[in-house]
Amino acid sequence: MKKFLILSVIILGTWMSVGVGAAETVDRSMCVFDPSGAHGDVFKAAQRYQAQALTWGIRLDLKAYTDEVVANSDFKAGKCNMALLTSLRVRSYVHESGSIEAIGALPSYDLLRKTIEALSNPKVRELNTDGEYETMAMFPGGAVYLLLRDKNLKDIKDLAGRKIATLTYDQAATTMVDIVGASMVPAEIATFAGIFNNGRADACYSPAIGIKPLELMKGISPNGGIVRFPIGQLTFQIVARHKDFAEGFGNNSRAWAATQFDAMLSLTKKAEQEIPAKYWIEVPKDLQKNYFEKFREVRIRLRDKKVYHPTILKLMKRVRCSADKEATECADNLE
């Protein structure tokens, strides 16, 4: 009897060790979009995430893509368990978290930080899930600015009748172009820089991190500039099929990603600081109201079209109003 008990313990212990070993490490893959490929800063951030995921029992195989369309297609086809994409793409998977880039909703990095921290709270996991998909992480990619070939167009009303290079799949930008009375020059990520630089468009938009690699200074020089008034906040997000990951993985992942905010933002700040001061166009306070009003009009219109998720718009409005309780918008319930 004693020998039987000892044998049973040995067998049970062996079975448990095998089971634990199998549960400790699971192979998964991630499609990573970085315009600079495996040598870019976004891919380096993915490598840091890869190292952290290993502590959660996930061995990640990273696949670099310089074309977001291809990265998105491969993820959609199931060739990767998760993908690191821009929020503009993620919105088609997770409506809520993908709406964080809503035009003009977060005019400062501090407001973006507070929004990401709020969405990383385990109590609001449902705001990061949509059907089979879940947003596992959010990283700042930088404020998106309006780039002009003529710096005298700093008032948003001056854009009427002008040509703006616009990403065809960016509904916010196409709506904005319509509202201000400008003309849209259809573009893709691979073509908009050339359109702007060659003078086929009077304006385009980009975060600072895209200006140097896309050589956008060619379009700005010598008479143009960059309007220092954020159109929106670009974020890179990791989206996954939650069935491929253990329960609680998403909460751990989002919480960790929130701690990386400053590290990721430093890349953006460095790119902004490298832009010669003479090219920055400051918007006078009396003209800023025009921007706020037009941006808000776009957000409400796209909310009604179900492009932006109303819950996220309300969350971002609460964040804005917590920072400026006297703002006119804080007195109504439009967002």
> pLDDT (tens digit, 9 = 90+) per residue, 221-248?
999 999 999 999 999 999 999 999 999 9
- Identify the band that residue 334 occupies on the pLDDT scale cut at 50, 70 and 90: low
CA contacts within 13 A on the Cβ side of 199: 4
CA contacts within 13 A on the Cβ side of 42: 30
Nearest to 99 by CA among 119, 114, 80, 82: 119
Residue 320, classed as helix, strand or coil, is helix
What is the distance between the alpha carbons of residues 316 and 313, in angstroms, rounded to a whole number? 5
pLDDT tens-digit readout, 311-331:
999 999 999 999 988 787 887
| CATH level 3 topology of 27-142+233-273 | D-Maltodextrin-Binding Protein; domain 2 (3.40.190)
What is the distance between the alpha carbons of residues 143 and 230, in angstroms, rounded to a whole number? 5
CATH class of the domain comprising 144-231+282-309: alpha beta
Minimum mean pLDDT range among 12-16, 136-140, 190-194: 12-16
Question: What is this structure's pTM?
Answer: 0.87
pLDDT tens-digit readout, 208-221:
998 988 899 999 99
pLDDT at 154 over 90: no
pLDDT tens-digit readout, 245-286:
999 999 999 999 999 999 999 999 999 999 999 999 998 888
| Cα–chain center distance at 290 | 25
pLDDT at 167 over 50: yes
- Identify the band that residue 14 occupies on the pLDDT scale cut at 50, 70 and 90: very low
Q: Cite the residue boundaries of each domain of the chain with CATH code 3.40.190.170.
A: 27-142+233-273
Average pLDDT, the chain: 89
Task: Give the pLDDT score at 321.
Answer: 92
Whether the CB-CB separation of 31 and 84 falls below 8 Å is answered with: yes
**Six-digit token string for 212:** 């140097």
Nearest to 165 by CA among 185, 151, 145: 185
Q: What is the mean pLDDT of residues 151-156?
A: 85
Q: Cite the residue boundaries of each domain of the chain with CATH code 3.40.190.10.
A: 144-231+282-309
Helices then strands (H, E): number in the chain?
Answer: 13, 10
Percent over 90 (pLDDT), the chain: 73
Q: What is the mean pLDDT of residues 131-144?
A: 96
332 burial (CB, 10 Å; 0-12 / 13-18 / 19+) is exposed
What is the distance between the alpha carbons of residues 60 and 200, in angstroms, rounded to a whole number? 43
Whether the CB-CB separation of 38 and 45 falls below 8 Å is answered with: no
Inter-CA distances, 314 with 85, 97, 112, 115, 334, Å: 24, 13, 14, 11, 9
pLDDT at 30 over 50: yes
**Six-digit token string for 46:** 């993915």
Which residues in the chain belong to E strands, given as ranges? 26-33, 58-65, 82-86, 129-130, 133-148, 163-167, 183-187, 203-207, 225-241, 280-281
What is the distance between the alpha carbons of residues 197 and 249, in angstroms, rounded to a whole number? 44
**Six-digit token string for 195:** 């359109």
